Amino acid sequence: MKHIAYYDLARLTHAHSSALKEAAARVIDSGRYLRGECEREFEKKWATFVGTKHCVAVGNGLDALTLALMALNRQRGWQQGDEVIVPALTFVATALAVARAGLVPVMADVGEADGLIDLDSAEHCLTSRTRAIIPVHLYGAPCPMPVITEWARQRGLSVVEDAAQAHGATVGGRCVGSWGDIGCFSFYPGKNLGALGDGGAVCTNSETLAIAIRQLANYGATEKYVHQWQGMNSRMDELQAAILTAKTKWQDGETRRRREIAERYGQGIRNPKVRIPYGGQTEQSVFHIYPLRCPEREALQAHLLEHGIETLVHYPLPLHKQPVFFNAECRLPRSERWASEELSLPIGPYLTDQETDQIIEAINTFK
Ligand SMILES: *Cc1c(COP(=O)(O)O)cnc(C)c1O
Residues 22 and 159 in one domain: yes
- 34 inside domain: yes
End residue of a domain, out of 184, 213, 244? 244
Residues 238 and 130 in one domain: yes
- 322 inside domain: yes
Pocket test for ligand 1, best of 165, 192, 240, 286 (most atoms within 8 A of CB): 165
Please report the atom of ligand 1 found closest to the CA of residue 190: 1
- The answer to whether 235 touches 198, Cβ cutoff 8 Å, is no
Residue 150: predicted pLDDT: 98
Pocket test for ligand 1, best of 7, 60, 62, 139 (most atoms within 8 A of CB): 62
Hey, whose CA ends up nearest to atom 4 of ligand 1? 61
End residue of a domain, out of 183, 210, 244? 244
Hey, whose CA ends up nearest to atom 6 of ligand 1? 61
* Per-residue CA distances from 351 to 10, 291, 311, 355 (Å): 13, 17, 14, 6
Please report the atom of ligand 1 found closest to the CA of residue 63: 9
Q: What is the mean pLDDT of each run of 10 residues along the chain (367 residues)?
A: 95 96 98 97 98 98 98 96 98 98 98 97 98 98 98 98 98 97 98 98 98 98 95 98 98 98 98 96 94 98 98 98 95 98 98 98 98
- 349 inside domain: yes
Residue 175: predicted pLDDT: 98
Residues 225 and 289 in one domain: no
Pocket test for ligand 1, best of 84, 90, 94, 136 (most atoms within 8 A of CB): 94
Hey, whose CA ends up nearest to atom 14 of ligand 1? 164
Number of compact structural domains in the chain = 2
The CATH number assigned to the domain holding 203 equals: 3.40.640.10
- 197 inside domain: yes
Residues 261 and 293 in one domain: yes
**Cα Rg of the chain, angstroms:** 21
CA of 195 from ligand 1 middle (Å) equals: 13
What three-state secondary structure class fits 222? strand
Residues 114 and 15 in one domain: yes
Q: Which residues 6+ apart lie within 8 Å of 204 measured at CB?
A: 52, 53, 54, 68, 181, 182, 183, 210, 213
Residues 52 and 85 in one domain: yes
DSSP letters spanning 122-187: HHHH--TTEEEE--B-GGGPPP-HHHHHHHHHHTT-EEEEE-TT-TT-EETTEETTSSSSEEEEE-
End residue of a domain, out of 209, 227, 244? 244
Pocket test for ligand 1, best of 67, 91, 286 (most atoms within 8 A of CB): 91
Hey, whose CA ends up nearest to atom 10 of ligand 1? 93
pTM here?
A: 0.98
- The answer to whether 88 touches 116, Cβ cutoff 8 Å, is no
Q: Rounded to the nearest 5°, which phi and psi values hold at 4?
A: -120, 115
- 206 inside domain: yes
- The answer to whether 158 touches 184, Cβ cutoff 8 Å, is no
Residues 355 and 213 in one domain: no
Residues 234 and 346 in one domain: no
Residues 185 and 274 in one domain: no
CA of 224 from ligand 1 middle (Å) equals: 30
Residues 213 and 273 in one domain: no
- 81 inside domain: yes
The CATH number assigned to the domain holding 332 equals: 3.90.1150.10
Please report the atom of ligand 1 found closest to the CA of residue 188: 7
Residue 13: predicted pLDDT: 96
- 3 inside domain: no
Please report the atom of ligand 1 found closest to the CA of residue 97: 10
- The answer to whether 132 touches 157, Cβ cutoff 8 Å, is yes
Residues 116 and 199 in one domain: yes
Residue 1: predicted pLDDT: 81
Distance (Å, rounded) from C-alpha 352 to C-alpha 282? 18
- 42 inside domain: yes
283: containing domain: 249-364
Residue 335's CB is within 10 A of a number of other CB atoms, namely: 29
Q: Which residues 6+ apart lie within 8 Å of 223 measured at CB?
A: none
Residues 209 and 307 in one domain: no
Give buried/exposed letters for 249-267 (b at 16+ CB in 10 A, else e). Answer: ebbeebbebbbbbbbbbbe
Cis amide prior to 33 (ω within 30 degrees): no
DSSP label at residue 312: B
Distance (Å, rounded) from C-alpha 46 to C-alpha 61? 14
Q: Provide residues with CB under 6 Å of ligand 1.
A: 60-62, 90-91, 93-94, 136, 162, 164-165, 186, 188, 198, 200
